[in-house]
Structure 1
Amino acid sequence: MAKGFTDEDDALLAELGVEVEVKKQLSRTPREERIIAGFEEILRFVDEFGRPPQHGEDRDIFERLYAVRLDRIRNLQECRDLVAPFDKHELLSEGPMLVATDTDELDDDALLAELGVAVDASPLTELKHVRSTAEKKAADEVANREKCEDFSKFKPLFEMVQKELDTGLRETRPFEMKAEIEKGRFFIVGGQKAYVAEKGETITNEQGRTDARLRVIFDNGTESNMLMRSLQRALNKDDAGRRITDPSAGPLFSDQTIDGDEASGIIYVLRSKSDHPLVTENRELVHKIGVTNMSVEKRIAGAHLQPTFLMANVEVIATYDLYNINRSKLENLIHRIFEPARLEIEIMDRFGRPVVPREWFLVPLFVINDAVEKIRDGTITSYRYDPHAAELKRISG
């Protein structure tokens, strides 16, 4: 009975699960201490990642070590009994029971050996000693980030990419393969944009797989000298990990596509055959600019019956095939750029109701071509149309 408590108090506290008996300090062997310390490492992993450690060559070396260690603990009854009081995540009740093996082979040297990781032959009794060996192996897996001293050079790139994401010139897509990691590519990992500023020579690691050293800049002003496979693993582990498409990948405006391109539609430029006085006076300047996901021929069918085409037939002046881009965002962007030159015209539809079309502009064709080129090279968001000079001018600031 605990000092200061009656028999009745002890019984009540026991029902509540409160430890009331003052126990002598248990004396554990170094092996038992090591097993408990190893299990606590596994618990910290679950605390951080919300799941038990898993097997797999694509996993971090420590996660693989924890997964093997957990299997061994589950397999050995004396180990299960030893760590059961610490099992707050109920890890011992998960996973299949394995065939029993030597109960004396639970040290991390043995576990690392099962993973094919070389360790010193001398017996190690403390986990921290094994960790120092593993850390040497893991040094090339994940590099620490440090302050990017020349971040001012990269900051405008991140700002440009964000603008292009906002306007639809770039999109985010799930990360799929290591081949996507190239110099000049952007990714989203850990909630931050990452830019591959440099990529070193291709090397072959100890497992016979190709790899390369990268210089990766993050939009928070830090950088990391990590391996390509480290970035690949980080992107694969991150449920929100994405790659950011290249605005010129595809190409955006071409009659040919490459593997992985996704057709988005067509930018079209039309000239009206209307006999409306405002149109006839400015025939060479009045253009309709739009984006469609169907053939232009189908889009303009029955143009003379539609007020959006000024209730008249039209002539197709130019088309640009569109890949890997958001159609509606791009169309809105083009219309905002040419807003100062929007044609203010009112047309009566077939029922005599007034309609004001919004996609016609007083813009020379060469300026539209210039705009397309700036969409191609990703600089279009920095320009607006000056109707007095009849040219695209860079926005100051």
Structure 2
Amino acid sequence: MSEAEVVDPVDSAYPGNFQELFDADVDGLLDAPEKPKKVTSSDRLERAFLEVVEFRRAHGRIPSSTTREIAERKLGARLDGILANEEKIAALKRLDEFGLLEVPEAPASLDDLLAGDDLDLLGDEFGLLDVSDLPVRKAPNSPDSVAKRKKSVEFDQFEHLFKTKHAELAEGAVTLAAFRGLPTVQEGRFFVLNGIMLFVAEVGETKTMVVGGKAEPKQRLRVIFENGTESSMYRQSLSIRLHEQEGQAIVRTGVEDEEIFDADKESGHIYVLQSLSDDAQIAGIKDLYKIGFSRNSVEQRIANAANAPTYLMAPVEIVADYRTYNLKPSALEHLLHRVFAEVRLDITQIDTKGRKYDPSEWFVAPLKVINQAINMIMSGEIVDYVYDAETQQLVERG
């Protein structure tokens, strides 16, 4: 073979240029791997919203931010946060296949709002929109008195507090107890309202406002809710809602009330009893309860109920038992008689010796309202309220 015919073995094995080499790579072996795309805040926002969309697809409804189901509640709170931000709504509009981001026109009235609730979005299981049993309160002269919940921009500073408190509840270090009234609404306290834990982060300065024609001291609160919202409601407003919605306080296990101090003296028990009488005149009365006071245990007090006209000459059942401190029995009796005067039972009993007796501590009112009144008596709030038999609510005195 001549010198001109010598062939370079490399040239014979591979194409003459790199383009030919790439063109011959039909299996893509020479393709450079793509660099992973950096996840942006927009990507995270879209992924978060798509989880809400997937929940809507799977369950046929939007997630609730007030449910006890933690996973759903997180999605509901996430959607609430998106709806509160116009920029996020605009960025996610193209992904909104169910119209979750559509903001309807504001109704002209409450009736229009309820009439237009075709999907029953207002029928929440915890009754957050049910104000039927709230006390009738006169509106203050200042519009500054109204506080609405808003997204808490500093929630990351409080989130760990809620996690710690839930852990303490699980361990039994703290427990849930009945709400004890306005004096217990203090900075640093935790409460549960409609299944949602809240934290009183700040108590503002006392300001005097004219409410219903009379001056009242008011304190604004900064209340943080575990769903990532906050409110600047008045201290009295939070107390009323905790009363009405049967809210609870989070207290140390073994301590009945965190507001009890060494100098406080236990004065006895306020109790609520229900009659077990088989007398048709008594048994036929709905919501009939005895509210009384005892220095000793309630069990000792009712031991002879079947033979005592004050207990309607029949056995009774203990419905509620509140331990009280620094309370004068005479003051309690006076308050109870005044608050529930309109619905005091009017009946005459005859004791075992044939003597007539008119029991004075039996009242016809829902148990929920009675419990509310007792809590308000112990906190001192009751002085401005009376019971309205028609609405079955505690209302402010006119």
TM-score, with length taken from structure 2:
0.35
Q: Which has the higher contact order (CA 8 A, sep 6+)?
A: 2
